[in-house]
Amino acid sequence: MPIKWSSVQVSEAMDMAEKFVSQAAEPLEQAEIVARQARNIAHLPGYLDDRLQRLIWEIERIDYMKDAIKAVRNAIPDGALEAERESLRHGSQQILIS
Q: Judge whether 36 lies within some domain.
A: yes
d(C-alpha 78, C-alpha 8), whole Å: 13
Q: Judge whether 23 lies within some domain.
A: no
Question: Would the pTM count as exceeding 0.75?
Answer: no
The long-range contacts involving 4-8, CB below 8 angstroms and separated by at least 24 positions, are 6/84, 7/76, 7/77, 7/80, 7/81, 7/84, 8/81, 8/84, 8/85, 8/88
Q: Judge whether 18 lies within some domain.
A: no
Count of structural domains, the chain? 1
Contact 86, 31 (CB under 8 A): no
Contact 94, 42 (CB under 8 A): no
pLDDT of residue 90: 79
Mean pLDDT in order along the chain per 10 residues (98 residues)? 83 97 96 98 98 97 95 93 86 54
Q: Is 17 helix (H, G, I), strand (E, B) or coil?
A: helix
Q: Judge whether 48 lies within some domain.
A: yes
Q: Judge whether 46 lies within some domain.
A: yes
Q: Judge whether 19 lies within some domain.
A: no
pLDDT of residue 97: 52
Q: Judge whether 52 lies within some domain.
A: yes
pLDDT of residue 93: 55
**Domain membership of residue 68 as a residue range:** 29-89
pLDDT of residue 98: 45
